[in-house]
Amino acid sequence: MKYLLTAFLLGACAMPATAQLIVAHRGASHTAPENTLAAFRLAWEEGADGAEGDFYLTADNQIVCIHDKDTKRTAGKKLMVADSSFDELRKLDVGSWKDKKYAGEKIPTLAEVLETVPDGKRMVIELKTGPEIVEPLQEVLADSDVPNDKLLIIAFNADTVLACKRKLPEIKAHWLTGYKRNNRGAWTPSLVKVVQTMRATGADGLGSNGKPDIFDREFISKLKREGLGEFHVWTIDDPEVAKFYIEQGAYGITTNRPGWLRKELGDALKKPEEG
């Protein structure tokens, strides 16, 4: 089974535990080229409650929306994002690889992505760098019309999460983790390590790889007993896996196919109130 989605939790304190959000992974990336304005606009058209995008810092301190460290996969030409200027990156076509009808799509800035967010919808900002991105992020968010309670910052880098909670305490931040087997065959990080990291960073919740054989009912129950029950899962394209995490209390499901997944889930999905 292939897991290509991100599930997402946002505004937990304001929402009932039965509510779930459908969040578009890199925009509606099943159909449109990931992390482009076309993908985000399609996500809103498909009725997504929120959208998730990946963000790097350029050499001239601009925050741009791209998943990989370099542009080879989506542009066909390899430029390292951190070593390139915004103008250099902006010249690349990151739409044609998906479909010729998307030719001419450019790497957008965070500010441009935020401008697509409709009233009442949410944006999940995945920071792909270290803490150096947080101060530029503050500046962009200060100029954005998206309310703080409609934003969620997520990152695998624990230091980045910690910096966000120190500099942007009014915005929720989740620490992300996947799972790997160590040389003894045990899955890492362990529950103990997850708890330690969440507490050390001040994270508001956990973003977990959505693998039911690892991040299972017992793992989630133990998190809740530790007082760390706010969680989201990634990446869920399978409706049955989505239903499993809905039953465990995930507040949201991020998917490459927001419109399709909402239809497949039907009554299993309880939509939160807008606004």
Which of 25, 30, 174, 232 is catalytic? The answer is 25
Residues 275 and 267: their CA atoms lie apart, in Å, by 21
Closest CA to 220 of 247, 187, 182, 186: 247
Which of 30, 67, 174, 232 is catalytic? The answer is 67
Distant-in-sequence, close-in-space partners of 127: CB < 8 Å, separation ≥ 6? 55, 133, 134, 137, 153, 154, 155, 157, 160, 164
Phi, psi (5° rounding) for residue 199?
A: -70, -40
Q: Residue 57: beta bridge partners?
A: 63
Q: Are 133 and 156 in contact (CB under 8 A)?
A: no
Closest CA to 54 of 40, 70, 68, 74: 68
Query: How is 149-177 classified by DSSP, letter by letter?
Result: GGEEEEES-HHHHHHHHHH-TTSEEEEEE
Q: Is 67 a catalytic residue?
A: yes
Q: What is the CA radius of gyration of the chain?
A: 18
Residues 172 and 260: their CA atoms lie apart, in Å, by 28
Q: Residue 151: beta bridge partners?
A: 123
User: Which residues are marked as active site?
Assistant: 25, 67
